[in-house]
Chains A and B, each alone.
Chain A
Amino acid sequence: MRLADAPKRALIIGGLGLLTVALAAMLAGCSAPASSSGGGSAGSDTVKVGAILSLTGPYAALGAAEKNSLELEQQRINSAGGVGGKKLEIIIEDDGTDEAKAVAAATKLIEQDHVVAILGATGTGQTMAARTVIDRAAIPMISMAGGNAITGKFDRLVFQTPWPNSIVVPFVLRKVAADGHKKVAVITDSSGYGKDGSAVITQEAPKAGLTVVSNQQFNPGDTDFAAQLTTAKSSGADAIVLWTAGKEGAAIVKQAGELGVKLPMYGGSGQAKSEFPTGAGAAAEGFVFGTGKSLLPSNWGTGTPEATLVNDFSQRYEAAYGTAPDIFAGHAFDALSILTDAMKRSGDMSASKLRDAIEQTNGLVGFAGTFNFSPTDHNGLTEKDLSLYRIENGTWVPVQ
């Protein structure tokens, strides 16, 4: 028995040895081109930009699209000669949809990678959490999250590419009122975007002529929503407003269907991803949500600067990844486009000069609309960039 084991053990040790050699060879092979292309000698011929994305966790679907978008654009920019003669290097960190990890990612990007600017985070809570690190390092940050607080609680270093809750919420609530509803039940997630939305809804509902009769939260990662839906149903509401960007949105709408909660439902940009109608199935039919016009590029007409830009980006994205870009891919595109535009105008890649140049962004046509920043407005989008959609046959169609 023991004797028979000896050759086996030799075989295992030999195998492990071989594997180690093979791995070492692969690693050497990987690092060789990197060092020869001069990636190590940063400063002179490359400009480093950090990105904090939620590649895992409840916002994984958003982060994945943003990563696709950034990689596509990085490749395009570099093959066209880079920015101001320098090669653009985007270093992407995953925050796992976790605020503490977003802080760690920001610290790593600033202290180890010495990036000149940070794109992200994907989520509102993660963006707000990373702000302390950003402020200390005094480098500009362009967020891809839609919370109102991001530019509402003003920070001279922080900019924002999506339509914030402060313009999307009133836009959607007016539609709720126009559909003849008076009393609404609100369901939001307890993370940054949901909390932010809940506060804006409470504030804006009376202005739209609506009464909030029930306002409930759920935790990211929850899988059962019987409590919230049953309470919403018995609250006497005539409609439900759902405000979340997480994957739970689909499960809530699906469970509403299963539990026989037949109230009409409304939402925002969090539902503008294909995973929502796919995950919720038949229960999502008739769901109305408000988000940017670019969700359907045809909204921009033909021949307009917006239509040209959105169509060009959509075609390249689809050629690379096989699916049309969603709005989150667009927010990442905008963040990078605002940054590279500022880099070109400034010519100086220092963080403070870049911040000033970003703040002077004027009339830059992007995916989400036209960006006009000012010392008091770091978002610059308006309701004119928004549109309403309804889920029909598993996809979204414009609401007339």
Chain B
Amino acid sequence: MASLAQFIVAGLKSGAIYALVALGFTIVFAATGAINFAQGEFFMLGGMTGAYLAHLGMSLPLAVIFAVLATAVLGALFEIVAIRPIAGGDPLRIIMVTIGGSVILRQAALHFFGPDEVALAAFTPGPSIRFLGAAIELQTLWIWLITLASVGGLVFLYRRTAFGAAMRATALRSDAARLVGIDTRSMVTVSFALAAALGAIAGLAVAPLTQSAFDVGAGIGVKGFAAAILGGLGSPIGAVAGGLILGLLESLTAGYINPLYKDAVALVVLLGVLFIRPQGLFGGSGKEKL
């Protein structure tokens, strides 16, 4: 029983991280109709930049905030430099560019930060708390809190602000949005910045538990992508649900079957959903959900 509780806690912890990364995929998909395969690299850049700044002597909260801002700016720059010149064309071209971008970002991180893993201090140091026989690290509580706040903030932004309405309008029909005076180009840039910020937040939240390194982006990118597909691309609630389901499936597989098979679960789930229900568990046709 205590084991089951522990496996569920571990699953919801990884699941919350997958959800944050999946949200990044969702936002960019809504704005461009393309998958941003550099999303995992934003996760890596968040953790690495945060650890780097903390290492330079910046206080932890400042380092975290600066890392998120820096990654968001980089996300916007990435869009302006690499995506904007080919905007409006085939989404496949955008996808290819993001794959190339991910390789460049990873290699740049290798040269700038070096090959070693780096550690970040826990947000609040202290012993784990006990719940139903399971130990819950304080950092896990932070991860849940951050995921909840991010989803809440995102829903508020999209539903309750004029800015969010403009972004939704761009997602629904870009040319019509432009006709009513929305700067659709900026909306795409902002969506990349937001996706990068979410990725960075996820990378920072797990860095105290797992350390970070220049090459962690690709793996988490696959997981986040699987979660986004599972939940239905374009739906923030679906992305969160997809992330949590994937995390739980992995953790239970690791606990009750064999830890070596847990990565295969993500791929099997991904393939299964693509075959049986391509619109995802919670997806309608996509963009209207946002």
**Chain A residues close to B by CB (< 8 Å):** 55-57, 60-61, 63-64, 190, 216-219, 221-228, 230-231, 234, 247, 250-251, 254-255, 258-260, 275, 278-279, 281
> Cβ of A260 and Cβ of B210 under 8 Å apart?
no
Q: Are B119 and A226 in contact (CB under 8 A)?
A: no
A230-B6 contact, Cβ under 8 Å, with A216-B259, A224-B210, A259-B128: yes
B214 neighbours in A (Cβ, 8 Å): 56
A61 to chain B, nearest CB (A): 5
Q: Are A275 and B116 in contact (CB under 8 A)?
A: yes
Contact: A219 with B260, CB < 8 Å? yes
Cβ of B255: which chain A residues have Cβ within 8 Å of it? Answer: 226-227, 230-231
B97 at the interface (CB under 8 A from A): no
| B137 contact set on A, CB distance < 8 A | 255, 258-259
Interface contact A226-B117, CB-CB below 8 Å: no
How far apart are B46's CB and chain A's nearest CB, in angstroms?
15
Interface string of B159-179 (1 = CB under 8 A from A): 000000000000000000000
Q: In the complex, which range does the number of interface residues on chain B fall in?
A: 35 or more
Inter-subunit contact B115/A56 (CB<8 Å): yes
**B41 is an interface residue with CB less than 8 A from chain A:** no
* Residues in B lying within 8 Å of A, measured CB to CB: 2-3, 6-7, 9-10, 13-14, 110, 114-117, 119, 128, 130, 135, 137, 139, 206, 209-211, 213-216, 219, 251, 254-255, 259-260, 262-263
Are B251 and A259 touching (Cβ within 8 A)?
A: no
Closest 10 CB pairs of A and B: A226-B10, A227-B254, A60-B115, A223-B210, A258-B137, A227-B255, A259-B135, A247-B117, A260-B135, A230-B6
Tell whether A230 pairs with B7 under 8 Å between CB atoms, given A60-B213, A223-B209.
yes
Distance A259 CA – B2 CA, assembled complex (angstroms): 12
B3 and A231 contacting across the interface, CB-CB below 8 Å: yes
Are A217 and B259 closer than 8 Å at their CB atoms? yes
B213 touching A247 by the CB < 8 A rule?
yes
- Chain B residues lying within 8 Å of A217, measured Cβ to Cβ, are 259-260
Choose among A221, A230, A231 the residue with the greatest number of B CB atoms under 10 Å from its CB.
Answer: A230
Query: Looking at B6, B139, B251, which has the most chain A CB atoms within 10 Å of its CB?
Result: B6
The majority secondary structure among interface residues of chain A is helix
In the assembled complex, the Cα of A260 lies from the Cα of B209 at a distance in Å of 15
Asked if A55 and B115 sit within 8 Å, CB to CB, the answer is yes
Known pairs A219-B260, A231-B3; A60 contacts B116 (CB<8 A): yes
C-alpha spacing A281/B262, complex, angstroms: 27
Known: A226-B7, A230-B6. A255 touches B209 (CB 8 A): yes
The interface residues of chain A lying within 8 Å CB-to-CB of B260 are 190, 217-219
Residue of A nearest to B261 (CB): A219
Min CB gap A327→B, angstroms: 16
Closest to A247 in B: B117
Alpha-carbon gap, A226 to B5, bound state (A): 11
Find B259's partner among A56, A61, A218, A221 (CB 8 Å cutoff): A218
